[in-house]
Amino acid sequence: MVNVRTLPDVMQKQLNEVDCPVFKNKPWVRGGPLKERRVAILSSAGLHLRSDKHFVGGDHSYRVIPNDTDPGDIVMSHISVNFDRTAFQQDLNVTFPTKHLADMEEEGLIGSVASNHYSFMGATDPRDMEDDARQLAGVLKADQVDAVVLLPV
């Protein structure tokens, strides 16, 4: 469990009681070595460009964040106030590590970085995001992405 020591009882209870689905099938996609993979970030921090539409309650859509976006053009409109935002406010890479991916590409640890990254807003029930997620899979494959790192908040 996440740092329960710092979470009020009510938040611990909420996290413990989240209605998580149990999937019967366990998909597992095999791939080549990491140094040949093309990697994209999928955040659920409610990130988007300043020019994009902000997230609202129940929003199941995603936003596109090009890899070469100026870090100053990325903002957060997640509806929850119950996670720490001060880290994101000080350092984008703690939630959206494009700098680290660029370094890893340069060092040969990954093959390449995707043209675009993506963000949902995690307060929405992910079951409501299923259609968007499956559509996004096609978009990712069209960019030759074969590795996705999911970063919640």
Q: Which is nearer to another protein, 64 or 151 (CB)?
A: 151
58, 66, 68, 84: which one binds another protein (CB under 8 A):
84
Dihedral sign for Cα 129, 125, 128, 48, please.
Answer: negative
**Cβ of residue 112: shortest distance to another protein, in angstroms?**
13
- Strand bridging mode 74-76 / 147-151: unpaired
Largest CA distance in the chain: 45
**Binding residues among 63-82 for another protein as defined by CB under 8 A:** 70-72, 74-77, 79, 81-82
Report if residue 142 touches another protein, rule: CB under 8 A: no
Query: In angstroms, what is the minimal distance from the CB of 153 to another protein?
Result: 5
Q: Give min distance, CB of 2 to another protein, in A.
A: 5
Residue 106 makes contact with another protein by CB under 8 A = no
Q: How far is the CB of 140 from another protein (least distance, A)?
A: 6
Q: Is 137 an interacting residue with respect to another protein (CB under 8 A)? A: yes
Residue 15 Cβ vs another protein, minimum distance, rounded to whole Å: 6
51 binds another protein (CB under 8 A): no
Of the candidates 56, 52, 23, 48, the residue with the CA atom closest to the CA atom of residue 124: 56
Tokens coding 33: 């070595």
**Left (φ > 0), alpha (ψ -120 to 50) or beta: where does 46 sit?**
left
Q: How far apart are CA 95 and CA 20, in angstroms?
A: 23
Identify the CA nearest to 117 among candidates 61, 62, 72: 62
Identity of the residue, 66 or 82, whose beta carbon is nearer to another protein in the bound complex: 82
